[in-house]
Amino acid sequence: MKVAVIGAGIVGVATAYELALRGAEVTLIEEREGAGLGTSFANGGQMSACEVAPWAGPEIPGLIVRWLGRDDAPFRLRPKMDPEQWYWLLRFLMRCRASARRERIPPNLELALLTRARMAAYEADFRDAAKSFAFDRRDKGILRVFSTAHGLREAAAESETMARLGVEQQLLTPAQCVELEPALVSALQRGEITGGLHSPTDASGDAHLFSKGLAAAAAERGVVLLTGATVADIIIRAGRACGVTTSHGPVDADAVVVAAGTGTAALLKPLGLRSWIYPVKGYSVTLPAPEGNAPEVSITDEARKIVISRLGNRLRAAGQAEVGGYDLTLEPARAASVLSALTSLLPQAGVAADAAEFWCGLRPMTPDGSPVIGRLEPFSNLFINSGHGTLGWTLGAGSGAALADLICDSAPQLSLSPFSIKRF
Ligand SMILES: Cc1cc2nc3c(=O)[nH]c(=O)nc-3n(C[C@H](O)[C@H](O)[C@H](O)COP(=O)(O)OP(=O)(O)OC[C@H]3O[C@@H](n4cnc5c(N)ncnc54)[C@H](O)[C@@H]3O)c2cc1C
């Protein structure tokens, strides 16, 4: 079977690799010059099964109002004359309930665990083939630190649900947080930490390096990677997808997968389909890891709304969420606020701010915080794997495997019904 996969971010690359493992002839089409150069390029690096709860929650509407007009606000709304933004926002606000957030934890977690399993399998495959690729993976877990007792209590309650589903987190006192990660000592001294949750089985790593490495491994399995090729449309004949038109010419296929991140909505619209995916812009800063003082454990600072990951000899912090359309302009003030959140949390680390590399990307977000994976009816051979929002690195490999099972009629490793587009 010939499959065309649109988009070579972490999700598209994993889908292509998993399809090739099942014997499909895959063409992976990417408008940029290589794999992992879109939103998968410089994200926060966390592979965080412990943080699969959606962003939409009861506290969000109040926070949006509190942060209105602030340039460095962790969450910012920029209203557009775009009905898609308003449909999305309405749905998002309707999901800002504790029960709605809880409902999404089990399916997201199951997908995160499948991702862990698939990544372990890839590493074994590469070892057997006497090959490997490095992506600065670090298996020191993720530590979430909280500045309020309320935040800690809420997260601890969610962690009980996760523990029942197989992901243990340990509740830590402020002193235990610093014992685990000494770089947090000054935050403790300033009285900023009321406690933490440590997820020892979570990890961090560089999603761009991984996407690039997996794309190369996919090419060795026969996947054709067409880069610099923009898909203009999906060709439909007699109610079936039979290929795509690209800037390099047509590509025929027996099945088409849209894994185009924030490019997904534009590809589906001419077919009369709404993706329910809207961009949420975020920023990251990458610096040389300060010698001796850089954190070893990946950290989520719940007060500053940033994540920090050590990637080999680099340190990365990421944060910010702006619902403001598709504009990818890097705003210096927004980018600087991520750096200043990092330096204010870890003032003693001595980060070399002048060597900072800033980046911004668009998270392909659904209103409910779960991706959309599955068939796009009424077309029996058109599929979607997109909308991973804040969790594409955490859920990407599992999503690729689950969709490849569906396309190739392999035994399903998890139910895709919670990820169906029909839920909207
Ligand atoms: C600041 C920030 C921090 C983050 N931190 C984390 C984290 O710590 N952990 C985590 O799990 N997730 C994190 N994420 C989210 C994660 O990065 C995304 O969910 C993930 O990268 C999405 O992957 P993707 O493959 O769907 O999209 P992309 O990586 O954007 O890939 C889609 C690809 O499709 C291509 N494309 C689009 N349209 C077309 C077309 N018409 N023709 C051809 N090609 C096309 C694009 O060029 C792009 O390369 C973060 C995101 C941001 C912005």
Asked whether residue 123 is assigned to any structural domain, the reply reads: no
- Tokens representing 127 are 């070892």
User: Do 19 and 167 belong to one domain?
Assistant: no
Half-sphere exposure of 194 (CA within 13 A, CB side): 13
Asked whether residue 118 is assigned to any structural domain, the reply reads: no
pLDDT digits (tens, 9 = 90+) for 217-228: 999 999 999 999
**Ligand 1 atom closest to Cα of 29?**
43
User: Do 373 and 360 belong to one domain?
Assistant: no
Task: Say if ligand 1 is within 6 A of residue 194 CB.
Answer: no
- Tokens representing 168 are 């243990």
Asked whether residue 125 is assigned to any structural domain, the reply reads: no
Element housing 103 (H / E): helix 98-128
Q: Whose CA is nearest to atom 3 of ligand 1?
A: 43
User: Do 36 and 60 belong to one domain?
Assistant: no
Domain boundary, last residue among 349, 365, 381 = 365
Q: What is the mean pLDDT of residues 355-360?
A: 96
Looking at residue 288, its pLDDT comes to: 94
Instruction: Give me the residue label for tokens 């004949």.
Output: 237
Looking at residue 147, its pLDDT comes to: 97
Specify the amino acid at residue 32: R
User: Do 252 and 291 belong to one domain?
Assistant: no
Task: Say if ligand 1 is within 6 A of residue 6 CB.
Answer: yes
| Domain harbouring 220, CATH code | 3.50.50.60
Which domain covers residue 291, as residue numbers? 48-103+136-202+278-365
The answer to whether 49 and 116 have CB atoms below 8 angstroms apart is: yes
User: Do 293 and 221 belong to one domain?
Assistant: no
Task: Say if ligand 1 is within 6 A of residue 334 CB.
Answer: no
The answer to whether 258 and 271 have CB atoms below 8 angstroms apart is: no
Task: Say if ligand 1 is within 6 A of residue 398 CB.
Answer: no
Distance 262 CA to ligand 1 centre (A): 7
Most confident residue range from 53-62, 155-164, 270-279, 344-353:
270-279
Task: Say if ligand 1 is within 6 A of residue 401 CB.
Answer: no
Asked whether residue 129 is assigned to any structural domain, the reply reads: no
Cα 140 to chain centroid distance, Å, stands at 19
On the 0-12 / 13-18 / 19+ scale of CB atoms within 10 A, 70 is: exposed
DSSP bridge partners of 6? 29, 258
Looking at residue 37, its pLDDT comes to: 98
pLDDT digits (tens, 9 = 90+) for 298-348: 999 999 999 999 999 999 999 999 999 999 999 999 999 999 999 999 988
**Ligand 1 atom closest to Cα of 281?**
53
Looking at residue 73, its pLDDT comes to: 83
Looking at residue 348, its pLDDT comes to: 81
Residue from 119, 8, 35 nearest 398 by CA: 119
Q: What is the mean pLDDT of residues 179-202?
A: 97
Is pLDDT of 352 > 90?
no
pLDDT digits (tens, 9 = 90+) for 50-109: 999 999 999 888 888 888 877 778 888 888 999 999 999 999 999 999 999 999 999 999
Look at 161 and 389; give whichever has higher pLDDT. 389
Query: pLDDT band at 174, cuts 50/70/90?
Result: very high
User: Do 252 and 176 belong to one domain?
Assistant: no
Tell me which of 280, 390, 394, 399 to substitute to probe ligand 1's pocket, judged by most ligand atoms within 8 Å of the beta carbon. Answer: 390
Looking at residue 351, its pLDDT comes to: 81
Query: pLDDT band at 279, cuts 50/70/90?
Result: very high
Query: Hey, which bits of 116-271 come out as E strands?
Result: 142-146, 170-172, 195-199, 203-204, 224-226, 231-237, 240-246, 249-252, 255-258
Q: Whose CA is nearest to atom 41 of ligand 1?
A: 231
The Cα 70–Cα 65 span in angstroms is: 10
Residues 6 or more apart from 110 whose CB is under 8 A from it? 165, 414
Asked whether residue 290 is assigned to any structural domain, the reply reads: yes
Q: What is the mean pLDDT of residues 229-245?
A: 97
User: Do 170 and 316 belong to one domain?
Assistant: yes
User: Do 231 and 243 belong to one domain?
Assistant: yes
Asked whether residue 108 is assigned to any structural domain, the reply reads: no
User: Do 222 and 334 belong to one domain?
Assistant: no
Q: Whose CA is nearest to atom 14 of ligand 1?
A: 390
User: Do 87 and 153 belong to one domain?
Assistant: yes
Asked whether residue 127 is assigned to any structural domain, the reply reads: no
Specify the amino acid at residue 117: A
Task: Say if ligand 1 is within 6 A of residue 369 CB.
Answer: no
* Range 233-241 contact pairs with CB under 8 angstroms and sequence separation of 24 or more: 233/267, 233/270, 234/258, 234/267, 234/270, 234/271, 234/382, 236/271, 236/379, 236/382, 239/378, 239/379, 239/380, 240/379, 240/380, 240/381, 241/379, 241/381, 241/382
Distance 417 CA to ligand 1 centre (A): 23
Asked whether residue 116 is assigned to any structural domain, the reply reads: no
Q: Whose CA is nearest to atom 4 of ligand 1?
A: 43
User: Do 64 and 158 belong to one domain?
Assistant: yes
DSSP bridge partners of 101? none
Q: Whose CA is nearest to atom 2 of ligand 1?
A: 43
DSSP bridge partners of 143? 198, 299
DSSP 325: -
Domain boundary, last residue among 365, 386, 411 = 365
The domain total for the chain is 2
pTM: 0.97
Is pLDDT of 404 > 80?
yes
User: Do 306 and 352 belong to one domain?
Assistant: yes
Task: Say if ligand 1 is within 6 A of residue 211 CB.
Answer: no
Task: Say if ligand 1 is within 6 A of residue 43 CB.
Answer: yes
